[in-house]
Amino acid sequence: MKKLLLALMLLLPAGISYSQPGGLLRLIDGYLIRRQQEQPFDTAYILKPQEKWLVGTATNLSHNAVHAYWKENGIRYSQRFDQGHFFSQNVRVGYRGISLSISLAKLWVGKPFEDLSLSYSCFGNSWGFDWYYLHSGSFRGTSLIDGVKVLLDGTLFENQSMNLDTYYVFNNKKFSMPAAISQGYIQKRSAGSIILTMSGNLTVQATDQDPGQLTNYMTSYVSLGCGYGYNFVVRKHWLIHSSVTPSIILLDLSKQTGESNVEVNNPLKPLDFCGTATLAAIYNADHYYLGVHLVNHGTFLGDYNSFQTDITRLQASVKFGYRF
C-alpha cells in the first residue's frame, strides 16, 4: 500500500502539469518529436524536413464520366453521363509529418455552382489512404435507346459518389509515397517499390427521365490491386514520380432499375477490374515546393449483355507549399 501511495504522489504532479493549458499539446509534440527521431527509413534515400509546419494549396482541374450499358425486354440501352471540366481548390496543413487535406468548393468554367465535394487524406511512407465524396447535380449526358440518340436533361438527376483508396508500400525504407503526393517527405535518391492497394466505391445516381430511361443505378465494389511506383530524383531538387496500380474486383454489389422498375444485379466477371495511373513532377527548394500531379482512374464492371458500367475520373493539379 505504501508503494502504491508513493507512486501516486510521484505521478500526480506530472498529471497536473499536463492538465494545465498547453500541457496536452506539449505531450503530443513530444510524441511526434520522438516519432521523427526514430527515423524508420533510410536517411540516404529519404529526408524528413526539419520544419514543423507545412501549408500547401493545389488547384485541380477534374473530369468525371459514367457510361452505362444494359439490356431490358430485348432492347439495348446506353447512357453516358459527363460532368464536364471543373476547378476545385485544395488546402493541406501538416505538422511534424501528420497532415490533413480538405477540398470543399468547385468553381465551374462558365457554369453555376452546383456541386459539393469533400476529401480527406493521410499519406505515410508505409501506408496511407485517400477518401473522396462528391454530391453533384451537374452531370449532363446522352442516351442510346435501340440505336436512337436522346439528350438527357441534367437538371432531372443527381449523383452521389464516395471512394476510399488505401495503399501499402513494401520498400518503405527507401521509397517515399508522400514525397510525391503530399510532400511531407523529400526523396533524396531514386528508388522504387511494389505497392499493394485496396479500394472501395459507392456511387448512387437517381434520374427522373421519360419512360425507357434508366431511372437509377448503384455502383458498389471492393477491389484489391498490386502495382509499382518509382521516384526518380534529378539534380537533387527535382522529383519525377510514376506509378501504375491495376486491381481486380473482389466484390461487386452494383445494380440498376429501368423502365419496368425491376432491379438487375451487376454480374461479377473474372475480367472486372479497375486501375490508377499517376504521374507527378515536384521541385523542392529550402522552404517551399512547386509541382504538377496527374491522376487517371478507371473502373470497368459487369457484362454488356446484361448491365455494364464504366467509370472514369481524371485530375490534373498544380500545387505549391511552404514549410516553416
The per-residue DSSP string of 200-234 comes to EEEEEEEE--STTS--EEEEEEEEEEEEEEEEEEE
Nearest one of 252, 266, 280, 275 to 308, comparing CA atoms: 266
Query: 116 and 24, same structural domain?
Result: no
The grid coordinates of residue 139 equal 452531370
Please tell me the distance from the alpha carbon of residue 231 to that of residue 280, in angstroms, as a whole number: 9
The predicted model scores a pTM of: 0.78
pLDDT at residue 212 in the model: 46
C-alpha distances in Å from residue 287, one per residue of 51, 211, 234: 8, 60, 18
Residue 278 is part of a domain; what is its CATH number?
2.40.128
pLDDT at residue 13 in the model: 41
Is pLDDT above 50 for 9? no
* CA dihedral for 216, 221, 225, 228, sign (positive or negative): positive
Cβ neighbours of residue 151 under 8 Å, at least 6 residues apart? 141, 142, 143
Query: 133 and 4, same structural domain?
Result: no
Query: 17 and 82, same structural domain?
Result: no
Query: 182 and 70, same structural domain?
Result: yes
Query: 148 and 17, same structural domain?
Result: no
Predicted confidence (pLDDT) per residue in 159-202, tens digit: 788 889 999 999 999 999 989 988 888 999 999 999 999 999 88
Q: What is the DSSP letter of 153?
A: P
pLDDT at residue 7 in the model: 44
Cβ neighbours of residue 297 under 8 Å, at least 6 residues apart? 274, 275, 276, 277, 312, 313, 314
**What confidence tier does 300 reach under pLDDT thresholds 50, 70, 90?**
confident
The grid coordinates of residue 304 equal 454488356
Please tell me the distance from the alpha carbon of residue 241 to that of residue 289, in angstroms, as a whole number: 15
Least confidently predicted of 13-17, 150-154, 227-231 = 13-17
pLDDT at residue 262 in the model: 47
Assign 269 to helix, strand or coil.
Answer: coil
Query: 156 and 19, same structural domain?
Result: no
More confident residue, 166 or 63: 166
Assign 255 to helix, strand or coil.
Answer: strand
Query: 227 and 148, same structural domain?
Result: yes
Give the position of cell 522504387: 192
C-alpha distances in Å from residue 32, one per residue of 27, 47, 57, 177, 275: 9, 16, 24, 20, 34
Residue 6 belongs to domain spanning: 1-38
The grid coordinates of residue 15 equal 498529471
Query: 130 and 20, same structural domain?
Result: no
Backbone phi and psi for residue 6, each to the nearest 5 degrees, phi listed first: -65, -40
Is pLDDT above 50 for 235? yes
Predicted confidence (pLDDT) per residue in 94-149, tens digit: 777 666 777 665 555 445 555 667 777 778 888 888 888 877 766 667 776 766 67
Is pLDDT above 80 for 256? no
The grid coordinates of residue 308 equal 455494364
Quote the mean pLDDT of the chain.
77
Query: 67 and 7, same structural domain?
Result: no
Please tell me the distance from the alpha carbon of residue 321 to that of residue 296, in angstroms, as a whole number: 23
C-alpha distances in Å from residue 10, one per residue of 1, 17, 27, 41, 94: 14, 12, 18, 37, 35
C-alpha distances in Å from residue 291, one per residue of 199, 208, 227, 263, 317: 26, 42, 23, 46, 8
Query: 251 and 136, same structural domain?
Result: yes
The answer to whether 247 and 167 are in contact (CB under 8 A) is no
Query: 25 and 119, same structural domain?
Result: no
**For the chain, what is the domain count?**
2
Is pLDDT above 70 for 208? no
Give the position of cell 504532479: 13
Query: 101 and 30, same structural domain?
Result: no
